[in-house]
Structure 1
Amino acid sequence: MDDVAEFEQQRPRLFGIAYRMLGEASEAEDVVQDAYLRWRSGHGPVQTPAAWLTTVVTNLCINRLTSARARRERYVGPWLPEPVATGNDPQELVERRDTVSLGFLVLMEKLTPPERAVFVLREAFGYTHRDSAEVLGIDEGHARQLYHRALGRLGDERRRFDARPADGTKLVERFIAATVDGDVKGLEAILTEDAAIWADGGGKAIAAREPIFGRSNAAHYLAGLAAGPRARIARLSVIEVNTTLAVLVHESGALTGVLVPEIHDGAITTIRAVLNPDKLAYLRDQLD
């Protein structure tokens, strides 16, 4: 197998690693492309290409995460990951559904870059502590310690993200109908008492700068959207995003938002709304 064919065989897995590491699809693509350039520029004898490429991609991601932390601290409003359509994506992105949901990617922001690397390699790709240590250039004991630190930081919250989510189609349909109708009572009926809305506009789209907490506040906020002038031209549809059902918002044919409800025990606990146009670019390309 020539170098190009070898790399293309590895590309989906490398993207799966980079996306889980960074939470940004466009950045993950850049990392994979950077790895490709390094692969093509001459790498000497490589006994196991998959291991060599994994090492390059993982360490590129660690470097990018280190600088991304500072950018995210200056981000306007809540920061959310970039959504990706997963309905027809390769197994590398969907086989461990819990590690690619928007909620879990947000939760992993608690981890340091090395902790995130070890956690992703082990939980999503089945790496042993020894394998992870070789990728990061550390000893096995340190890799084990990083993994257990990651588990401690994530705590019991990670249990919310079940790898076998229940079918929430009817609930999402009720959510759309109640939102479009501005039906506060209907929305309150499907939201938990402690429901929350996190909207990521990044200063480039109209969005709440602070999260909205509580069933009543969330219901009134959503119902208020139906009364706005943009609601008349908005068209809503449902697809699978980050392995869960999500609502796409199109205005005049252009994708302007993605609303991802998080469902537990038959009710919506959290709604993450990605409205920043920069963060919708990758998904737009997937849908075209």
Structure 2
Amino acid sequence: MTDPFVAHRSLLFTVAYEMLGSAADAEDVVQDTWLRWAGLDTSARAEVRDPRAFLVRIVTRQSLNRMRTVSRRREDYVGQWLPEPLLTSPDVADDVELAESVSFAMLTVLETLAPTERAVFVLREVFEAPYDEIAEAVDKSPAAVRQIAHRARTRVAERRPRATVDRGQQEAVVQQFMAALSGGDLQALMDVLAPDVVAVGDGGGLAPAAKRPIVGADRVARLLMAFSRQQAAYTMSPTWLNGAPAARVDLDGAAAGVVSVVVEDGRITRLYAVANPHKLGRLGEEAALTR
């Protein structure tokens, strides 16, 4: 018989990652959860009626504790903070709700929520946990959790991208984007960017990146074209990140950055570029994400 922790490990990692936006922190939370589970004796485990709910509750509490720590750490972060990118298989996109929940766009929206709001939103909207289970996990009453869930849904709805596109269209736009950059074609790049496009870069003070979001097709295009002039040193290739088509940038065979985009009406409306080397270490192995 498979140990419940082993059976639900991918789920536990996904829950923690969506709450924290960091694979490294999520792995630490999952490890702490394992230690707590392994520390139960046989009789204690036998009393657990729903191991999945029990383990999710531990992960949630550990994630909330970690959120308070990382929030202080991010106050000192240099420049814009973006989630740690995960290499995923195209199959993740088959579960549309899961793919959206781990997208850069959604994770950056979730960063605007208070820790408990984020936990409640993730557990309810993504994993469809009952209110009473969530209440136990966040140490609130079911009535309070319902109110928190409503407030979080409203805030997320105000900030999330309005349109969704199929993977074929997003792949085509990413290909256009990469071709324009590689060819140094300013007009082709302008054609693929929405007039009010917003570009956010995360270098963490360790790699070049704008410290504030860049707004407008002209400004974003000129910034990207400055990068394209260095294409002799860099190579760009398509990849799948966080459940969506994206671009990977390599230097001397090693990852130097990734670019994830939001596409609406055939154009890029938001562009997320991560160059912080501390966030690029997991691009060699696909992350197992599940609901």
* TM-score of the aligned structures, taking structure 2 as reference length: 0.91
What letter corresponds to residue 197 of structure 1 in structure 2? A
**Is 2:268 the counterpart of 1:268?**
yes
Mark the CA change 1:192 to 1:92 in structure 2 (over 3 Å): closer, same or farther. closer
Match of 2:131 among 125, 129, 132: 129
Q: After TM superposition, give the deviation of residue 213 of structure 1 in Å.
A: 1.0
What letter corresponds to residue 266 of structure 2 in structure 1? G
| Structure 1 residues 93-242: aligned runs within 5 Å | 96-158=98-160, 160=162, 162=164, 167-228=169-230, 231-242=231-242
Structure 1 moving runs of 4+ over 3 Å: 88-95, 161-166, 284-287
Q: After TM superposition, give the deviation of residue 156 of structure 1 in Å.
A: 2.6
What letter corresponds to residue 10 of structure 1 in structure 2? H
What letter corresponds to residue 150 of structure 2 in structure 1? H
Is the 1:179–1:187 contact (alpha carbons within 8 Å) kept by the matching residues of 2? Answer: yes
Q: After TM superposition, give the deviation of residue 157 of structure 1 in Å.
A: 2.4
Q: After TM superposition, give the deviation of residue 161 of structure 1 in Å.
A: 6.1
Match of 1:66 among 57, 65, 68: 68
- Higher normalized contact order (CA 8 Å, seq sep 6+, divided by chain length): 2
- Alignment gaps of 5+ in structure 2: none
Is the 2:257–2:274 contact (alpha carbons within 8 Å) kept by the matching residues of 1? Answer: yes
Mark the CA change 1:211 to 1:168 in structure 2 (over 3 Å): closer, same or farther. same
**Cα deviations across residues 174-222 of structure 1 (Å, max 9, x unaligned)?**
1111111222111111111111111100011111222211110111111
**Is 2:280 the counterpart of 1:280?**
yes
Q: Distance in 2 between matches of 1:268 and 1:218?
A: 11
Q: Distance in 2 between matches of 1:168 and 1:151?
A: 26
Is the 1:98–1:162 contact (alpha carbons within 8 Å) kept by the matching residues of 2? Answer: no
Mark the CA change 1:86 to 1:94 in structure 2 (over 3 Å): closer, same or farther. farther
Q: After TM superposition, give the deviation of residue 105 of structure 1 in Å.
A: 0.2
Q: Distance in 1 between matches of 2:161 and 2:98?
A: 14
| Structure 1 residues 15-30: aligned runs within 5 Å | 15-30=13-28
Is the 1:236–1:248 contact (alpha carbons within 8 Å) kept by the matching residues of 2? Answer: yes
Is the 1:182–1:222 contact (alpha carbons within 8 Å) kept by the matching residues of 2? Answer: no
Identity over aligned pairs, percent: 39
Q: After TM superposition, give the deviation of residue 154 of structure 1 in Å.
A: 2.1
Mark the CA change 1:250 to 1:159 in structure 2 (over 3 Å): closer, same or farther. closer
Q: After TM superposition, give the deviation of residue 147 of structure 1 in Å.
A: 0.6
Q: Distance in 2 between matches of 1:184 and 1:147?
A: 44
Q: Distance in 1 between matches of 2:155 and 2:76?
A: 23
* TM-score of the aligned structures, taking structure 1 as reference length: 0.92
Q: After TM superposition, give the deviation of residue 163 of structure 1 in Å.
A: 8.2
Mark the CA change 1:97 to 1:69 in structure 2 (over 3 Å): closer, same or farther. same
**Cα deviations across residues 81-136 of structure 1 (Å, max 9, x unaligned)?**
01112216779987522211001100011111111111000111111222211222
